[in-house]
Amino acid sequence: MARKFAEDRLVIASHNAGKVREIGALLAPFSVEVISAGQLDIEEPEETETTFTGNAALKAHFSAKASGLPALSDDSGLVVPALNGDPGIYSARWGGPEKDFNLAMRKVEEALQSSGSDDRSAYFICALCLAWPDGHEEIFEGRVDGTLVWPGRGDRGFGYDPIFVPDGFDITFGEMDPDAKHGMSHRADAFNQLVDACF
């Protein structure tokens, strides 16, 4: 049985203003005040784990301990089977120090071309960890499957969205209405599990 979230404040273990806004909107119906780790001057810990769930837990526990409040973090990325799971947990790093996702998408395409494989399947993973200052945690993992296209299409969303066509659709996440994407994305999948279990 998952622990229920009974507090009225929650730290989002992120310095990404867009992610904090998106999570805040998802939690708005539950009258939870969200505050980011950045607003509390909590530094971002180095992501040293080898899985999405490991990195999500590391970040959530770090912010919960530093703030004395429950903390929620997510770790997400693109997994490409033909590239042995890359870019995976290193999805943002493929964009270099500037986190340039145009560069990252080009690198994925070049790696696929070099692989000799015609498998263009891919999936996004989102791992969420809700951690309390006493060390308790609840972890949820969402996934959405699709296919990679080149060149990228659309300027909505962020990250690898312009090259990812989710199964059952003929448009990329980059072309999709944001509300439609939020209704079926990997993050939405993980959030629905979190809300069902803890709210």
- For the chain, state the CA radius of gyration: 17
User: Cα separation of 174 and 159, whole Å?
Assistant: 9
Indicate whether 164 belongs to any domain.
yes
Q: For position 145, what pLDDT does the model report?
A: 98
Residues forming a β-bridge with 35: 11
Indicate whether 4 belongs to any domain.
no
Helix/strand number for the chain, H first, E second: 5, 6
Indicate whether 80 belongs to any domain.
yes
Write out the residue range of the structural domain in which residue 58 sits.
9-198
pLDDT one-digit tens code per residue, 81-108? 999 999 999 998 999 998 899 999 999 9
Report pTM.
Answer: 0.89
Annotated catalytic residue 170? no
User: Cα separation of 140 and 26, whole Å?
Assistant: 15
Indicate whether 71 belongs to any domain.
yes
Exactly one of 8, 41, 74, 75 is catalytic; name it.
Answer: 75
pLDDT one-digit tens code per residue, 104-157? 999 999 999 999 999 999 999 999 999 999 999 999 999 999 999 999 999 988
pLDDT band per the 50, 70, 90 thresholds, residue 178:
confident
| Residues 178-190, mean pLDDT to the nearest whole number | 88
Q: How many domains does the chain have?
A: 1
What CATH number does residue 162 fall under? 3.90.950.10
Q: For position 175, what pLDDT does the model report?
A: 97
Indicate whether 85 belongs to any domain.
yes
pLDDT band per the 50, 70, 90 thresholds, residue 18:
confident
Indicate whether 1 belongs to any domain.
no
Beta carbons within 10 angstroms of residue 8's beta carbon: 10
Whether 17 shows a pLDDT value over 80: the answer reads: no
